[in-house]
Chains A and B, each alone.
Chain A
């Protein structure tokens, strides 16, 4: 009788320990991504290596829920600015399977390979992706930038 009790208690003890450990893991695990603006890579080669693209907010910080302008700068591998590029933009939140809340457009060429991308808006925190299809004298290529907010 006494030994049966011991097994039951030990069993319960183990279960409680497990619950405790699980609770600790649950509490310390990162639940949401980092806060505002910590996007991942701001400069990279396009998919087929035709251009080097960099993408950053025009006014420094990323704000949630506001229309913002960003700058896309396109250079060749040799560092020559890419002029007269036609750029189309799409994207969304891969984890939530929804698209962008706005349809951003390249509205201005500012010189030195730099294009203003207007109408960018991120409505919630999480991982966003912006896909650029770029077509210029050198050819057509694509690039995807992650923005984490």
Chain B
């Protein structure tokens, strides 16, 4: 063999080996297809909210979502924190409403696909969730009696066209709630049961209208989805082609780095709760995640077992078969969707990390959890691999 031919053979092998790294196995292709937005099933009907797909309800819900009149001080609405031009979040480590909260505002794209709401899942329906910030003293700081009066005064006709006649509110105190200040609690406890029930019904309907609106917030198609579609059909992806770095990142995400075990399916979430060893923020009250949410969702009068659910109790499977105890619930938080994450720092339930580099460094090291046991294990990723994962995550926000 001449030196030249040997060199050529060497080159050929090097090229082959190099190309091999960029190709995907069939198993990888299947996983990639399962992550594409086209694999997202249509939204299931929510039988617990019979207004969920009523356009007039969604329209009223949208009005209420953006209305600062829906707050104790007249200055805060859902959209104060869930900003429409910011993926329905606020870019802050911890949300600020009437007061300062201890958790990060969650983005809302595709949220209606989930069974549990909040970082710890302490609500079991989108409509029951919406009632919590309305009365939370740190968020909208209102009370249900005041909201009922407000709806009657501002949106009475629109409300009645959807939900039927409003109750007589003439004897209902201006401010009353079982969750409010001592004065509001006393006012609530003095109300006859039927009157309290009627106010609760209006309150629940506010939640159902807002939920109907939130069902329309869908995740947009990204460069990753166009790349996945091209890969599935074998067509050249053109402008959407991935760079070698993005391909490496994708391979790590679905392979060695195990991200896809939790960030799975077309929304990149298993909708479950996991302890990933994210450290608590200094000087905040203790936050134990899912383990403390179980009793709260069970006690919520607006949960699926409660009197305000529409339809059959057979829709309450998630609540009925909820995991109620166990060490894995300690400091477990809801797996967030990773769609759009690259353009909405900071990250985690209390904004613990300010960049994707920090997030990926956390997974690479996988420190032990301050309480409970982290499910993630050290990955020892190289600088190049960490950068590749970040590069891939960016394709989910382009």
Interface residues of A (CB under 8 A from B): 5-6, 9-10, 12-13, 16-17, 19-20, 22-24, 26-32, 35, 64-65, 67, 96-105, 118-119, 121, 123-126
Which of B88-96, B215-223, B269-277 contacts the other chain? B269-277
Which of B18-26, B188-196, B299-307 contacts the other chain? B18-26
A31 with B255, Cβ < 8 A, contacts A20-B20, A67-B318 known? yes
CB neighbours of A22 from chain B (8 A): 17
The one of B3, B13, B328 that contacts A19, using a Cβ cutoff of 8 Å: B13
CB neighbours of B3 from chain A (8 A): 5-6, 9
B317 in contact with A101 (CB, 8 Å):
no
CB neighbours of B255 from chain A (8 A): 31
Interface readout for B252-276 with A: 1 if CB under 8 Å, 0 if not? 0001000011101100001110100
Which of B27-35, B59-67, B360-368 contacts the other chain? B27-35
Q: How far is the CA of A26 from the CA of B19 in the complex (A)?
A: 13
Interface residues of B (CB under 8 A from A): 3, 6-7, 9-10, 13-14, 16-17, 20-21, 23, 25, 27-28, 30-31, 34, 255, 260-262, 264-265, 270-272, 274, 317-318, 320-324, 326, 328, 375
Q: Can you list 27 A-B pairs, Cβ within 8 angstroms, ordered by A?
A: A5-B3, A10-B6, A13-B6, A13-B10, A19-B17, A20-B13, A20-B20, A24-B20, A28-B25, A29-B25, A32-B31, A64-B265, A65-B270, A67-B318, A96-B261, A98-B274, A99-B323, A99-B328, A101-B272, A102-B321, A105-B321, A119-B321, A123-B270, A124-B261, A124-B262, A124-B264, A125-B34
Q: How far is the CA of A120 from the CA of B135 in the complex (A)?
A: 35
B261 in contact with A101 (CB, 8 Å):
no
A119 in contact with B320 (CB, 8 Å):
yes
Q: How far is the CA of A21 from the CA of B65 in the complex (A)?
A: 59
CB proximity of B58 to chain A, nearest CB, Å: 25
CB proximity of A33 to chain B, nearest CB, Å: 8
CB neighbours of A64 from chain B (8 A): 265
CB neighbours of B20 from chain A (8 A): 20, 23-24, 26-27
Task: Write the chain A residue with the least CB distance to B13.
Answer: A16
CB neighbours of A101 from chain B (8 A): 270, 272, 323
CB neighbours of B7 from chain A (8 A): 9
A13 in contact with B9 (CB, 8 Å):
yes
Q: How far is the CA of A23 from the CA of B163 in the complex (A)?
A: 63
A103 with B270, Cβ < 8 A, contacts A9-B3, A20-B16 known? no
The one of A24, A96, A123 that contacts B271, using a Cβ cutoff of 8 Å: A123
CB proximity of B398 to chain A, nearest CB, Å: 26
Q: How far is the CA of A103 from the CA of B325 in the complex (A)?
A: 10
B10 in contact with A12 (CB, 8 Å):
yes
Q: How far is the CA of A105 from the CA of B323 in the complex (A)?
A: 11
Task: Write the chain A residue with the least CB distance to B260.
Answer: A124
Q: How far is the CA of A103 from the CA of B274 in the complex (A)?
A: 16
